[in-house]
Amino acid sequence: MFKSPWQRHKDLISIHDFTTDEVEALFQLAANVKARPERYRNALAGQTLAMIFEKSSTRTRVSFEVGMYQLGGIATFLSSRDIQIGRGEPISDTAKVLSRYVSGIMARTFAHSTVTDLAKYATVPVINGLTDLLHPCQGLTDYFTVREKFGHTKGLTLAYVGDGNNMCHSLMFGGPKVGMNVKVATPEGFRPNPEIVEKAKADAKAAGTTIEAFARPEEAIRGANAVYTDVWASMGQEAEAQARVKAFAGFQVTPALMELADKEAVFMHCLPAHRGEEVAAEVADGRWSVIFDEAENRLHVQKAIMLLLMNR
């Protein structure tokens, strides 16, 4: 057991809730976990993580499940078909019952309120594995990957191109925490949530960084150190896919767009990637790409998150 630098936090719901020093503490621990995993082999021995999945996932499920195993604990997968939330049980009851059985809860849900309600009523840590509003574990992993690639994050710029979705929101919240500027280019009608933008800009002002919005990807990408995109139709938006392809015309990240970025720029994507839609295959699989480093780092960053929240 150790004194967690996250002592004031029971849960991880949003990057916005954390200070720069707390994010740096996470990154230092994640780097240590990645470099010397054997040191943490039994850190969560005897503990269990309940994993609630309303949305399916490759990276989230495998990284949390493997992460708990590597830390000496176990993870229990619970789909919406496996638990009573899907049959009308109040979230408060589910949270209270699970708190009697497990050491922590990770939830990947549609409504953000599902995760916040779980955190409100659970007595064990709750980790936001993704909601329609935020994706904090991925956002933290992305900035950890930038830090790993460049040796630092302060003063760098990340350009996000595409839908103003949960990934965009978490990147805007994360930038000020790591000293990075964030430029966002989205089509009309697909702008990020105004409340998130307002909070992120306030964080940026306090941190001495910037959050900027643009109508064209060229404007955002020019000179950026990292270029980020995400799928145009997220899970639950499949019926809108064809309409979104038309709306996002001109927003594909191509080699020509990447040439506008800094000469040492990296390309990032949370995956799954739809080559030929939001990104050209030559970019996703080319010299700029760090997408599989990001995917791997989900494991290390989430192990660090579980250590900081559960190993007290």
Q: Please tell me the distance from the alpha carbon of residue 117 to that of residue 115, in angstroms, as a whole number.
A: 5
Which residues fall within 8 angstroms of residue 190, CB to CB, at 6 or more apart?
A: 162, 163, 164, 247, 248
What is the model's pTM? 0.96
Active site residue 108: yes
Q: Is 138-294 CATH 3.40.50.1370?
A: yes
Residue whose token pair is 């009308």? 88
- Which whole-number Å values give the CA distances from 97 to 25, 58, 101, in the listed order? 32, 27, 7
Q: Please tell me the distance from the alpha carbon of residue 287 to that of residue 265, in angstroms, as a whole number.
A: 10
Residue whose token pair is 């001495």? 208
Q: Do domains 15-134+296-310 and 138-294 have the same CATH topology?
A: yes
For the beta sheet containing 157-161, the strands, ordered from the edge strand earlier in sequence to the opposite edge, are 211-214, 181-185, 157-161, 226-229, 266-269
DSSP 193: P
pLDDT at residue 81, rounded to an integer: 81
Residue of 230, 252, 269, 302 with catalytic role: 230
pLDDT at residue 89, rounded to an integer: 87
Q: Are strands 157-161 and 181-185 parallel, antiparallel or unpaired?
A: parallel
Residue of 16, 59, 108, 169 with catalytic role: 108
Which residue ranges in the chain fall short of pLDDT 70? Answer: 1-2, 86, 235-239
Which residues fall within 8 angstroms of residue 2, CB to CB, at 6 or more apart?
A: 311, 312
pLDDT at residue 80, rounded to an integer: 82
Residue of 47, 138, 252, 302 with catalytic role: 138
pLDDT at residue 119, rounded to an integer: 98
- Please write the tens of the pLDDT for every residue from 114-146: 999 999 999 999 999 999 999 999 999 999 999
DSSP 76: E
Q: Please tell me the distance from the alpha carbon of residue 57 to that of residue 62, in angstroms, as a whole number.
A: 8
Residue whose token pair is 């496996």? 82
Which residues pair with residue 108 across a beta bridge?
53, 130
Q: Are strands 266-269 and 211-214 parallel, antiparallel or unpaired?
A: unpaired
Active site residue 138: yes
Q: Please tell me the distance from the alpha carbon of residue 267 to that of residue 225, in angstroms, as a whole number.
A: 9
Please check whether residue 102 is in contact with residue 76, taking contact to mean a CB–CB distance below 8 angstroms: yes
Residue of 169, 269, 298, 300 with catalytic role: 298
Where do the domains of the chain lie?
15-134+296-310, 138-294
pLDDT at residue 65, rounded to an integer: 98
Pure H helices in the chain = 20-35, 59-70, 91-101, 112-121, 136-150, 166-178, 194-207, 217-221, 241-247, 255-258, 281-284, 291-310
Residue of 11, 270, 300, 302 with catalytic role: 270
Which of 172, 195, 185, 168 is closest to 219 using CA atoms? Answer: 185
Q: Is 15-134+296-310 CATH 3.40.50.1370?
A: yes
Residue of 16, 59, 135, 244 with catalytic role: 135
